[in-house]
Amino acid sequence: MPITATPSAGKGLLTPTDHTLILVDHQPQMAFATASIPISTLRTNTALVSAAARDFEIPTILTTVAEKSFSGPIFHEIRTAFPDAEVYDRTTMNAWEDAQVTDAVNLAGKSRIVLAGLWTSVCITGPVLSALDQGFEVFVITDASGDISDEAHERAVQRMIQAGARPMTSLQYLLELQRDWARTETYDTTTAAAADFGGAYGIGLHYALAMLGEDAREG
């Protein structure tokens, strides 16, 4: 029997209403030792993810470890996107072992979890494996995460993939939520976030706007 193609999205794609985002330990003390990604790039990618979550109204959980006694405040880019959000400070390296975090997950009520943070091998692998074990579908934004070496980051990502997690990038996250340029209600915020934090793609958007003015629209 032939397979029929239909113009519909695959079930594996994220939507703005089917997941919770958890940002873990984007803090100075963790960033100081991060070597798998330039900190400037990490901050930009984290800002892009945060802007996407804010603009698409994704339930977002912010968590830190030893904020006042050791690791310092959450990245400015995250706080800018969520100025009034509660930040759950922990003692556990695995955020999933903190009831504040799991209570927030349960309150959001989503079966899909998207995570990013520092460091990949500890503070991301822990909650990813724990969430998978409890039946959640888990995605990891790998370029808004980092570790003390390329080896540490890559082995952690491989381990999570082997356990069933799905890797993605920050720009992929933004564009997967938009997915159709005809969705006019989020067109402007999506292109604005990409223009501000989307690297070369963002420069291209600035160029198109400067050259074509109001005619510079995708779709």
Residue 127 identity? P
HSE-up (13 A, CA, CB side) for residue 215: 2
pLDDT tens readout for residues 103-114: 999 999 999 999
Which residue among 123, 128, 148, 156 is the active-site one?
123
Residue 34: the pLDDT is: 98
CA dist., res. 30 & res. 134, Å (int)? 27
> How many other C-beta atoms can be found within 10 angstroms of the C-beta atom of residue 176?
17
Residue 206: the pLDDT is: 78
CATH numbers and ranges of domains, the chain: 19-175 (3.40.50.850), 180-215 (no CATH)
Percentage of residues of the chain with pLDDT beyond 70: 96
Tokens of 164: 């069933």
Cα separation values, 60 from 50, 56, 173, 210, Å: 9, 11, 14, 34
For range 73-102, the mean pLDDT: 97
85-115 in b/e burial notation, b at 16+ Cβ within 10 A? eeebbbebbbbbebeebbebbeebebebbbb
For range 15-23, the mean pLDDT: 98
Residue 107: the pLDDT is: 98
Q: Check if 123 is active-site.
A: yes
Q: Which stretch of 35-39, 41-45, 67-71 has the lowest confidence by average pLDDT?
A: 67-71
Residue 166 identity? R
For range 175-180, the mean pLDDT: 97
For range 8-20, the mean pLDDT: 96
Tokens of 45: 């990618």
Output DSSP code: residue 211.
H
Helix (H) or strand (E) holding 88: strand 87-90
Asked whether the beta carbons of 58 and 52 are under 8 A apart, the reply is: yes
Q: Residue 96: phi, psi to the nearest 5?
A: -70, -15
Output DSSP code: residue 143.
G
Tokens of 148: 């003390």
Cα separation values, 98 from 9, 65, 89, 94, 119, Å: 35, 11, 9, 8, 17
Asked whether residue 217 carries a pLDDT value surpassing 90, the answer given is no
For range 183-188, the mean pLDDT: 93
Asked whether residue 218 carries a pLDDT value surpassing 70, the answer given is no
For range 60-83, the mean pLDDT: 95
Percentage of residues of the chain with pLDDT beyond 90: 87
